[in-house]
Amino acid sequence: MKNLLIGLFLTAIAMTGCKQKELNENPFLNDSYGTPFEVPPFEKIKAAHYMPAYLQGIEDQKKELHAIITNTEEPTFENTVKALEYSGELLSKVGRVFGALNSANTNDTLQQLNKELSPILSKHRDDINLNDTLFQRVKSVYDNQAKFTLTEEEKKVLEDTYKGFVRSGAALSPEDKDKLRKINQEMSLLSVQFGQNLLAETNDFKLVIDKKEDLSGLPSGLVAQAAQTAKSMKMDGKWVFTIQYPIMEPFLKYSDKRELRQKLFTAYFMKGDNDNERDTKKIIARIANLRVERSKLLGYKSYADFVLERNMAKTPERVKEFLGQVWAAATPVAKAEAEAQQEIIKKEGGKFKLEPWDWWYYSEKIKKAKYDLDDEVTRPYFKIDNVIEGMFYVANQLYGLEFSTRTDIPKYHPDVNTYEVRRNGEHVGILMIDNYPRASKRNGAWCGAYRGQSRDINGKMITPLVTMVTNSTPPSGDKPSLLTADEASTVFHEFGHALHQLLSNSTYPGVSGTSVPRDFVELPSQIMEHWVLEPEVLKVYAKHYQTGEVIPADIVEKLDKASKFNTGFATVEYLAASLLDMEYHSLTDTSSLDIRAFEKTAMDKYGLIPEIKPRYRSTYFNHIWASGYAAGYYAYMWSEILDADAFQAFKETGNIFNKEVAAKFEKEILSKGGTRDPLEMYIAFRGKEPGIDALLVNRGLK
């Protein structure tokens, strides 16, 4: 293996044309970055620095693990579990930077490096997880924990560490460990390839319009953005529309040209399913097959059984029962919405049946007629800078946090805005916000950290460096970025994840911040969405970008009345994707898996109406094939049970900024990270378990 690593190291140097001087000045290999708050010096980090830093990080952790394994003293929490928890500091340091940039600002070199690194890192993880001597030391501490005086957090770290080893195959026979290694390595490569194919497929499609009449119905801001895109592609005088969601959605809502709506939407929902070099069907089938093999090897019936064992839901049956309850409530609502749209088509003299590419267009007409409201009326009041100030205001009112712009801190892209977060004059952390779509950024929105909150091995506080990424409507022409209400909710949502990391107060890195079960992690993010359209909050941030006028009361009233509009569609398209995820990962045999046929059968099974497609079809379902949400996409709605009920704790006091409730939410949930069972944390905050009623009411389904 050593010769292989040396070979890859030399290959990386040759590929990037790296000079020896650059290697000697590798920022990752210095004890300190020498930047404010130790933010990575992005402008100094070259592609050639990653491989040497990764390899050095692996070697460093191997030495640390060797010291644990060869320790002749009786295994204790201190000399085994804690030592393991704090091993691999350099590896984590470089991995967080590489992973974040490969998602938010990638290029061909980083993508090639990702392919090379994937099997190396997979092997290293397995070398740790499948090391029997190391496992026996951990097991000894776990079996004899009554002998040690451990804090609640240390007990949780011990439990997670022990179960992590078991779930990673530490108790398998040598032969089965070899099988598992091969499965893990292949799966890691396939996930990388899926993500790269999807990004290439998304960037490849362009709807080019060269006739002005084909722009009929489109908002001026969207037209200006399309002209700007065309100009950047040396197509002056034309308009280019992509399948990036902030571009596609308003096109589908407002374009009067049905054939163009169909063309754009079809390109979107056929991503990865075009039988070309970027097709993802074979990749998906193989990943599904390997997950079944892996689960059975580890003693589980299916991959869903394996995943859900550590989540709040616990079993696939419970997840399906929950999703089925909401499906039963939402489907009749979605059908009624479809019928209403078909009636409009009929009244307008249309001789066609409503199709998925028509839904946005006709639902927007109904919204306009029913509430005298559309996104173009509200956009001027949702300037992105104001939305960000609004969410900062909410965080200040709830948790006393203060945000100040920092221009002296390195950033990885010009679009990034950086803030220092303080409370009572004390530094809390750094928040980087990156909002606009680009070819180097994957779709969607997410929150991560270049450094998580924890305490070092001596107990000194390590503050977090949090990054918050969206794909919001970009500025166009002389107009700033103006968001829809939904986009504003997305920004608040990701900010909730950021607060979960910024307000974390754990000791051990493995249980800090968002290191919680998948179906609990969305509680802090989704509860933040509740403040977006509250009148008390809107009057603070929702100001016209030209006049500064606060959003009028009549528009606020319309927003409130329309807040549950189209919820049948929104709920059903989400549930369809969640159920598709569960169907894939409940399989016990995938030997003859045909992706198109399987997807159709699954959706027919639940009775998905033809006018609606799943929010994510199989071939571009990045959450479950490349982002850790396999058998877990249901988590957003599961967490909605929690967030709808949790927000009621504020509403019941008559004060959405009730500081006592906020302090309790921080103490019992935000600060705890994964140091305690999530249901116990929730009950400690709310005093009871949540029920499904709050969710149904919140969505207007009851």
| CA proximity to 166, closest of 145, 185, 139, 188 | 139
- Measure the CA–CA gap between 277 and 279, rounded to whole angstroms: 6
With b for 16 or more beta-carbon neighbours within 10 A and e for fewer, the 59-80 pattern comes to eebeebbeebeeeeeebbbebb
Q: Which residues neighbour 682 within 8 Å (Cβ) at sequence distance 6 or greater?
A: 520, 523, 642, 646, 668, 669, 689, 690
- Three-point CA angle 603, 191, 202, nearest 5°: 70
Cα 9 to Cα 18, 100, 142, 185: the distances in Å are: 11, 22, 39, 19
* SS3 track for 476-527: ECCECCECCHHHHHHHHHHHHHHHHHHCCCCCCHHHCCCCCCCCCCHHHHHH
Catalytic residue among 494, 534, 573, 583: 494
End-to-end CA, the chain: 60
- Is residue 349 within a helix (H) or strand (E), and if so which, with residue range? none
Axis-axis angle for helices 522-529, 485-502 (nearest 10): 140
CA dihedral for 352, 354, 357, 363, sign (positive or negative)? positive
- Measure the CA–CA gap between 522 and 51, rounded to whole angstroms: 33
DSSP sequence for 427-463 = EEEEEEEE----TTS-SS-EEEEEE--EE-TTS-EE-
- Measure the CA–CA gap between 249 and 266, rounded to whole angstroms: 13
Q: Which residue has the tokens 């999530």?
A: 678
- Is residue 580 within a helix (H) or strand (E), and if so which, with residue range? helix 567-585
Axis-axis angle for helices 595-606, 281-297 (nearest 10): 70
Any catalytic annotation for residue 666?
no
On whether the CB atoms of residues 498 and 464 are closer than 8 A, the answer is no
- Three-point CA angle 425, 431, 435, nearest 5°: 145
| CA proximity to 170, closest of 137, 121, 122 | 137
Query: Burial of 263 by CB count in 10 Å (0-12 exposed, 13-18 middle, 19+ buried)?
Result: middle
* SS3 track for 220-269: HHHHHHHHHHHHHCCCCCCEEECCCHHHHHHHHHHCCCHHHHHHHHHHHH
Query: Which amino acid would we find at residue 444?
Result: G
Catalytic residues: 494
